[in-house]
Chain A
Amino acid sequence: MILRLAIASLLARALTVGMTVLAIALSVALFLGVEKVRTGAKASFANTISGTDLIVGARSGSVQLLLYSVFRIGNATNNITWDSYQDIAAQPQVDWIVPISLGDSHRQFRVMGTSPEFFARYKYRQGRSLAMTDGVVMADLFDAVIGADVATTLGYSVGDPIVVAHGLASFTEHKDQPFRISGILEKTGTPVDRTVIVSLEAIEAIHVDWQSGAQIPGQSTPVDVIRQMDLEPKAVTAALIGVKSPLQTFALQRAINEYPEEPLLAVLPGVALQELWAIVGVAETALLGVSAMVVVTALIGMMATIFSSLNERRREMAIFRAMGARPLIIVGLLVLEAMLTAAIGAVLGLSLLYLALFIAQPIVDSAFGLWLPIEAPSLRKLWVLVGVIAAGAIVSFVPALRAYRISLADGMLVRT
């Protein structure tokens, strides 16, 4: 009975109520959106590296090393010498080791030099392995494997020639040594999608005729000669390591961190990520706080509209009272109306979020490499919605109490 009354009353004031609903919906969508991006970013980072026990690079910071070597974000770390790399590879605790060499690019995409073992050892999203959609792992010196985004953005397919350039935004291109695409990787949702992978030797090969970043004029070594050359790399950027047993992780980490010949750093990827979250946590909380305040603002807006509606509805209330409704019924009616408004707003907000997700998902993925999965709302989100509805009820109590106090006579008196 009272519910029907509340619905009818809301419908009668469809425009004002609609505006309030819209304000609440937008604020809820913003709040949930921020939460989504926050958890999505975390999951995306956490899913990028899995199964690697240690990342080794030049001594810098653990976060910097992790970001640069795995996510290709931030400042480059120093390279480590090939001698040190081999020393580490020979440590008894090392089960497998995969080198990573960064610094060259193809169009806007990074080129990474590594060993073929990378394809077997690199794991993402709780232990999933890389797989090819087309072609095979590089077999020849000038073979390249490209990530899914590289293939779609540049329209490449297996067999196409590509040119690898110095630096990221490059003026000079290594035109003399065209690479051939030997394989295209499946979409992973990790930075691998935006990477051109070649062998370590290939990285050396493209720098044969180059000295301090520029080609020596009039000199160009034919490809055949390069193939004959000793292309052992002199340096790598970082290395991914798997240990034989977790029990040996710390011993190996300590041995690397105290390696006397070269300042090296070994980080546990999970711990480095946690450090990163600790750093961005403050900004995250601030963002969440701001969006929560927007929800509060929308709810206070609703309170204001209820207050102003009380004036219009003086007659209505008085008639209810005259017909025998107790003041408590009036309070109940107002609170119920507010809860309905908040509930519709919350549900609409959730739908808005999903709509936005559907539209923004591919854009966010290609622009920021952030994959936001579209999935059923989590329990936490549902609690947020319940919270909004409850807050709506609480907020409406203030005007409802006022309506409770206004006497029957107040509405009946004809005022000029």
Chain B
Amino acid sequence: MRTSLSLVLAALAIPAAAQESRQLDAHEHGVGELNIAFEGNIMAMELHVPGADIVGFEHAATSAEDRTAIENAVATLARPLELFVLPEGAECTVTQASAELESEESHDQHEEHEEHDDHDDHADDDGHEDHAEEHHEDEAGHTEFHAEYTLTCAHPGAITGFKFAYFDVFQNARELEVQIVSTSGARAFEVERDAPTLDLRGMF
């Protein structure tokens, strides 16, 4: 199946593919999505945020300024613990982090990420860099920053909540829609700039 799905996705990337498929994701400026999954000591996070929230524009980066802004943003997004502050007692460390800018029509990288799902080797994450480059040649459409993190926490029980320094770093972001899944089920939260914390007591 994996091969057949990647085939399909590969076919999508070619504009003149026989079976045309047109579909777009939801895109609301100011509102990002953060998905968090827990299992044992491992915590996986994925972040999807409109380009406007992060760098303030969604057009193709033409000037050197724009490019620097995007590069800085990607670098900032690759340091999750500075954006989403966890309690010290949990002793979480980042085992894998990647961030990139994604345009609306290129979803052909999902298979890439799944390779990282086995948490044994996180050695090589550099592969993502060239992806970021590829997608800069964008038309007028929306763009989205996309980041994935894997963290290992020595004491996951100590995670009583998150502090979202994210809102201090990115001034255009208004809200994050957070979904959390663990073995005990799924919950959704809305974290807003006014109250940038998430209380997870009772979740575990």
User: How far is B75's CA from A363's CA once the two chains are assembled, in angstroms?
Assistant: 61
8 Å CB interface, A247-261 against B: 247-251, 254-255, 258, 260-261
> Does the CB pair A270–B185 fall under 8 Å?
yes
Q: Is A356 an interface residue, CB under 8 A from the partner?
A: no
A90 x B1 contact (CB < 8 A): yes
The verdict on A347 contacting chain B, using a C-beta distance below 8 Å, is no
- List CB contacts (< 8 Å) of B87-131 with chain A: 107, 110, 113-114, 117
Report A86 CB to chain B, min CB distance, Å: 9
A245 an interface residue at 8 Å Cβ cutoff? yes
CA distance A217 to B22 in the complex (A): 42
Is A387 part of the binding interface, using a Cβ–Cβ cutoff of 8 Å?
Answer: no
The answer to whether residues A251 and B185 also contact, given A90-B1, A260-B12, A260-B21 and a CB cut-off of 8 A, is: no
| Cβ-defined contact, B23 with A263, below 8 A | yes
Report the separation of the CA atoms of residues A251 and B44 in the bound assembly, to the nearest whole angstrom: 10
Q: Are B183 and A246 in contact (CB under 8 A)?
A: yes
CB of A271 closer than 8 Å to a CB of B: yes
Q: Choose from A246, A254, A269 the contact partner of B39 (Cβ within 8 Å).
A: A246
Residue of A87, A90, A92, A245 with most partner-chain B CB within 10 A: A245
Given contacts A250-B35, A260-B12, A260-B21, contact A92 B186 (CB under 8 A): no
Contacting B186 at CB < 8 Å: which of A247, A261, A270? A270
Q: How many residues on A have C-beta within 8 angstroms of the other chain's C-beta atoms? A: 25
- Determine if A6 is an interface residue (Cβ-Cβ < 8 Å): no
B interface size (C-beta, 8 A): 31
For residue A172, which residues in chain B have a CB less than 8 angstroms away from its CB?
Answer: none
Asked if B42 lies at the interface with its beta carbon under 8 angstroms from chain A, I say yes
Question: Does B18 reach chain A (CB closer than 8 Å)?
Answer: no
Q: How far is the CA of A264 from the CA of B35 in the complex (A)?
A: 20
Q: Does B154 have its Cβ within 8 Å of any Cβ on chain A?
A: no
The distance from the CB of A241 to the nearest CB of chain B, in whole angstroms, is 13
CB of B81 within 8 Å of the partner chain:
no
CB-defined interface of A121-153 with B at 8 Å, one 1/0 digit per residue? 000000000000000000000000000000000
Smallest CB separation, B112 vs chain A (Å): 11
Q: Assess whether B61 is interfacial by the CB under 8 Å rule.
A: no
Residue of B nearest to A260 (CB): B21
When the two chains form their complex, are residues B23 and A246 in contact, meaning their CB atoms are under 8 A apart? no
Contacts of B9 in A (CB 8 A): 260
Q: Which residue of A lies closest to B187 (CB)?
A: A270
Q: Which residues of B (22-36) have their CB < 8 Å from a CB of A? A: 23, 25, 35
Q: Given A91-B1, A260-B12, A260-B21 in contact, is the A247-B187 Cβ separation under 8 Å?
A: no
Query: Does chain A have a CB within 8 A of B201?
Result: no
Q: Are A255 and B107 in contact (CB under 8 A)?
A: no
Q: How far is the CA of A248 from the CA of B114 in the complex (A)?
A: 9
What sequence of 0s and 1s flags, for each residue 306-349 of chain A, a beta carbon within 8 Å of any chain B beta carbon? 00000000000000000000000000000000000000000000
Q: Is the C-beta of A53 less than 8 angstroms from some C-beta in chain B?
A: yes
Chain A residues, CB < 8 A from B8: 260-261
Indicate whether A249 sits within 8 Å of B37 (C-beta atoms), given known contacts A258-B107, A260-B12. Answer: yes
Q: Is the CB of B110 within 8 A of A246?
A: no
A410 at the interface (CB under 8 A from B): no
> Please, how many angstroms separate the alpha-carbon atoms of A269 and B187 in the complex?
9
Task: Note all chain A residues with C-beta closer than 8 A to B84.
Answer: none
Given contacts A92-B1, A258-B110, A260-B9, contact A251 B38 (CB under 8 A): no
Q: Are B186 and A271 in contact (CB under 8 A)?
A: yes
Residue B179 CB within 8 A of the other chain: yes
Q: Does B200 contact A (CB under 8 A)?
A: no
Which residues of A, 228-284, contact B by the 8 Å Cβ criterion? Answer: 245-251, 254-255, 258, 260-261, 263, 268-271, 274-275
Binary A-proximity of B124-142 (CB < 8 A = 1, otherwise 0): 0000000000000000000
Indicate whether A87 sits within 8 Å of B1 (C-beta atoms), given known contacts A260-B12, A263-B23, A275-B188. yes
Shortest A51–chain B CB gap in Å is 9
Check B44 against A247 for contact (C-beta < 8 Å). Answer: yes
Q: How far is the CB of B13 from chain A (nearest CB, A)?
A: 11
A250 engages B181 (CB within 8 Å): yes
B21 touching A249 by the CB < 8 A rule?
Answer: no
Q: How far is the CA of A270 from the CA of B186 in the complex (A)?
A: 5
Identify the closest chain A residue to B45 (Cβ): A250
B5-20 CB contact bits vs A (8 Å, 1 = yes)?
1001100100000010
Closest to A251 in B: B114
Q: Which residue of A lies closest to B17 (CB)?
A: A260
Whether the Cβ atoms of B110 and A247 lie closer than 8 Å is no
CB closest residue in chain B, given A270 = B186
Question: Closest residue to A54 on the B side, CB-wise?
Answer: B186
Contact code string B162-204 (vs A, CB < 8 Å = 1, else 0): 0000000000000000010111011110000000000000000
A sample of 21 cross-chain residue pairs with beta-carbon separation below 8 angstroms, ordered by A number, consists of A87-B4, A91-B1, A246-B39, A246-B181, A246-B182, A247-B117, A248-B117, A249-B186, A250-B37, A250-B44, A250-B181, A251-B113, A260-B9, A261-B19, A263-B23, A268-B181, A268-B186, A268-B188, A269-B186, A270-B188, A271-B179
Residues in B lying within 8 Å of A, measured CB to CB: 1-2, 4-5, 8-9, 12, 19, 21, 23, 25, 35, 37-39, 42, 44, 46, 107, 110, 113-114, 117, 179, 181-183, 185-188
Known: A91-B5, A246-B181, A261-B21. 12 other contacts (CB 8 A): A91-B1, A92-B1, A246-B38, A246-B183, A250-B44, A250-B181, A258-B110, A260-B12, A271-B186, A271-B188, A274-B187, A275-B188
